[in-house]
Amino acid sequence: MATSKIDIIKRAASQTGNGALVSIEDNAEIARLTEEHYEAVVEEALTQHAWKFARKAGACQLTPLTPEKPWMQVWRKPASLLSLQYAATDEGVRVDAEERETDQGRSIVTLCEHTALVAVGTFRVNEGSWPGDFAMGVQHRMESVFLAAVSEQRSEADARDKLAEMKFQRARVRDQRASTATDATIWDLTVARRRSAAWDHRGYR
């Protein structure tokens, strides 16, 4: 069964004595802590390992910014990209590129001029695509947050953190043993190319 954010928070709240929630807003303190911590917990978990389920390719958008030398172009990275593995042309040729913080947010700079660029790496994939062990690891991390902040049970919070790490470790082993998907330069570049051609620039005005 697919997992959602509300499923994870409801289970975490129930396991820490915060009641059976129908929605996150049923408990103001749980809602606040979820807003403050959930995405940070998820990003940390997704970027601690090169998870196959989160590896994707996405089209970048060229910006008018002028980078410092020797870089020649600045590209806006895909919104849900968390960690860049490499960049490539839409034909699948890898290029020299690095992530940089710019006036337009976290971006990708390249050494040569290109007409299109695709970023391959770890993306913020939705909860429905998470393996069970990974989802349980995130749940236990949130249990630790709730225990420490709501009921100040520090020792129990530490125990849930350790349980979370055990789940993530099990998920990493399972992920490493899983069959490797076709390289992203083949399986996702066609989709990325179509998205690049249809990019809507209005969102950045």
Domain range summary for the chain, segments of one domain joined by +: 5-51+125-177, 55-124+182-199
CA-closest candidate to residue 145, choices 51, 8, 7: 8
| Total number of residues shown for the chain | 205
Please report the pLDDT score of residue 172 as a whole number: 97
Please report the pLDDT score of residue 180 as a whole number: 57
CB 117 within 8 A of CB 82: no
Segment 89-109 mean pLDDT: 91
Confidence of residue 106 (pLDDT cuts 50, 70, 90): confident
Give whole-number Cα distances, 94 to 6, 119, 120, 193, in Å. Answer: 39, 10, 10, 15
Describe the crossing of helices 5-15 and 28-47 by its angle, rounded to 10 degrees. 120
pTM higher than 0.75: yes
Segment 72-100 mean pLDDT: 94
Give whole-number Cα distances, 103 to 92, 108, 178, in Å. Answer: 28, 12, 40
Please report the pLDDT score of residue 178 as a whole number: 84
For strands 118-123 and 81-88, give the pairing. Answer: antiparallel
CA 3 to chain CA centroid, nearest Å? 16
Segment 92-106 mean pLDDT: 90
